[in-house]
Amino acid sequence: MNAVKLFVLPVLATALVMTGCASRKPATDLQAGQNPSGSTSVNTSGLSEDAALNAQNLAGASSKGVTEANKAFLAKRVVHFDYDSSELTNEDLQTLQAHAQFLVANANSRVALTGHTDERGTREYNMALGERRAKAVESFLVTTGVNPNQLEAVSYGKEMPVNAGHDESAWKENRRVEINYEAVPPLLK
């Protein structure tokens, strides 16, 4: 059954993305900013009273766990890996720690962790490697206190490169896990 999931789900996801039926865009299209008092404000014009209150609550929640010290780390949404490895590097641990702190402080935030590989190797091997990479990030976040229900680990293997080149610099960019906020991303302004 796992082999079927490893094959069918990424193929289906790739087809949906390519046809425009799916998007990893955040679920909220709030227009948020900072007002002079430092609190978060949201443009709620045109919304019902209940919807406006809900949007304001989501915007307020998305600024919890965002400190000046971790803004730079929260802005980084990609973790890179060495060739044929799913080991996290020391430089990525601070980034993941900042995301963990944000997710713990914002229980309504959800994240998709998408694992990717370079073009070398078979499709099946790369799907498994991408999954190991996504699961390594997921495991770190869970061990630092994030609720597993906030996380979804997905592998795309070599199917979605960010750099189409065929050399080490391109491969290095493609060996990654992307941290995609699906609901209530951190406000970094």
Sheet hosting strand 176-183, strand order edge to edge: 78-80, 176-183, 110-116, 151-157
Q: Enter the tokens of residue 84.
A: 């044929």
pTM of this structure: 0.67
CA dist., res. 157 & res. 9, Å (int): 12
Q: Enter the tokens of residue 77.
A: 């949404």
For residue 47, what are the CA distances in angstroms to 28, 56, 138, 178?
13, 11, 36, 32
Q: Which residue has the higher pLDDT, 51 or 130?
A: 130
pLDDT of residue 153: 98
User: How is residue 70 annotated by DSSP?
Assistant: T
For residue 49, what are the CA distances in angstroms to 46, 53, 56, 120, 171?
9, 6, 11, 53, 50
CA dist., res. 130 & res. 123, Å (int): 10
- Tell me the average pLDDT across 116-138: 98
Is the pLDDT assigned to residue 65 strictly greater than 80?
A: no
Residue of 105, 114, 160 lying closest to 133 (CA atoms): 114
Find how far residue 52's CA is from the centre of its chain: 26
Angle at the Cα of 23 from the Cα atoms of 59 and 156, rounded to 5 degrees: 120
Share of the chain above pLDDT 90, in %: 57
User: How is residue 92 annotated by DSSP?
Assistant: H
Q: Do 142 and 151 contact (CB within 8 A), yes or no?
A: yes
Q: Kindly give the residue spans of alpha helices, DSSP state H, lying in the chain.
A: 2-19, 49-62, 71-75, 90-105, 123-143, 168-174
Q: Enter the tokens of residue 32.
A: 């948020």
pLDDT tens for 9-39 read 443 343 333 333 333 333 333 233 333 333 3
pLDDT of residue 62: 52
CA dist., res. 88 & res. 96, Å (int): 10
- Tell me the average pLDDT across 164-185: 94
Average pLDDT, rounded, for the chain = 75
- Beta-ladder partners of 152: 112
Confidence band for 186, pLDDT divided at 50, 70 and 90: confident
- Beta-ladder partners of 178: 78, 114
